Amino acid sequence: MLTLKQSRRLNTTLVGIAAWTVALLLFFPIFWMLLTSLKTEIDAFATPPQFIFTPTLENYLHIQDRSGYFRYAWNSVTISFGATALGMLIAIPAAYSMAFYETKRTKGTLLWMLSTKMLPPVGVLVPIYLLAKQFGLLDSRSVLIVIYTLINLPIMVWMIYTYFKDVPRDILEAARMDGATIFQEMTRVLLPISKGGLASTVLLSLILCWNEAFWSLNLTSANAAPLTALIASYSSPEGLFWAKLSAVSTLACAPILIFGWISQKQLVRGLSFGAVK
């Protein structure tokens, strides 16, 4: 018969083992990608798969030599941060009005906004392509910033709306009593209170923009192509380039992975804050 203390310790150990197992399972594809990127092409498709081999950096050198990694990375950074900044500029006032000046149509509007996420992107490819062509925006970073903003806006508004709903109205009313304008009320009171939630919204938007591939592949070609397009350029149905493909995927994932790693505490706190409400 286990004592209460022993039972708790056993529970903690079992939960720990389960958490580590899930974490390792989730991390394994990334680990394998990294490992393959350090192999030669002949080692990359060897069966049984090789865990012990002579590592090489030739795939990384090849990528920089052939494609110029930093140009694509810069496009990814500009587009992701641009779309996130623009999205926040629109989402914060929208969420503010919905959270603090709620009408009978607010919930319906929120649901309708979210329903636009259910449309398969390919369904609107031709109209969007024609619009981009008409405005001379094909192969420009601007078009992806606008598209990504529009794609992520429903989620951003929803998230910020949820955080704003948790802010007591009394605090805002007190600010108003002290003579604060709406702008001051938002910038000096509301935003500092909800900075945890806003940070997680920014992070989520950055990750979604960074990983988006459909529009970046279809609307860019030479000048504005981000890292997702660079990865696609190393995929081939006629030729074994698995090691190079793994190297370019590692290079594309690395910045956002490191960024996520650094800010994971903020991200998890923000996301779970909304989830357990």
Partner 1 sequence: MHIGKTLLGTACIGTVCLVLASTASAETLTIATVNNADMIRMQRLSKTFEQQHPDINLNWVVLEENVLRQRLTTDIATQGGQFDVLTIGMYEASLWGAKGWLEAMQDLPQNYELDDVFPSVREGLSVDGTLYALPFYAESSMTYYRTDLFEAAGIEMPERPTWTQMAEFAEKLHQPDKDQYGICLRGKAGWGENMALVTTVANAFGARWFDEKWQPEFTGEEWTKAANFYVDTLRKYGPPGASSNGFNENLALFNSGKCAMWVDATVAGSFVTDTSQSRVADQVGFTFAPHETTEKGSAWLYSWSLAIPASSKNKDSAKAFTAWATSKEYAELVAKTDGVANVPPGTRESTYSDEYMKAAPFARVTLESLKQADPADPSAKKVPYVGIQLVTIPEFQAIGTQVGKMFAAALTGQMPVEQMLNAVQQSTTREMKRAGYPK
What does the binding site for partner 1 look like in residue numbers (CB under 8 A)?
A: 40-42, 45-47, 66-67, 125-126, 129-130, 133, 138-139, 217-218, 221-223, 225, 229, 232-241
Q: How far apart are CA 122 and CA 214, in angstroms?
A: 8
CB-based contacts of 133-138 (< 8 A; 24+ apart in sequence):
138/219, 138/220, 138/221
- Min dist CB 143 to partner 1, Å, is 12
- Min dist CB 228 to partner 1, Å, is 11
Residue among 175 and 243 whose Cβ is closer to partner 1: 243
Residue among 139 and 255 whose Cβ is closer to partner 1: 139
- Min dist CB 28 to partner 1, Å, is 20
How far does Cα 238 stand from its chain's mean position?
31
Residue among 40 and 97 whose Cβ is closer to partner 1: 40
Residue among 73 and 113 whose Cβ is closer to partner 1: 73
- Min dist CB 133 to partner 1, Å, is 5
**Signed CA dihedral, 154, 121, 129, 205: sign only:** positive
Residue among 55 and 108 whose Cβ is closer to partner 1: 55
- Min dist CB 106 to partner 1, Å, is 38
Q: How far apart are CA 202 and CA 51, in angstroms?
A: 38
State the DSSP code for 186: I
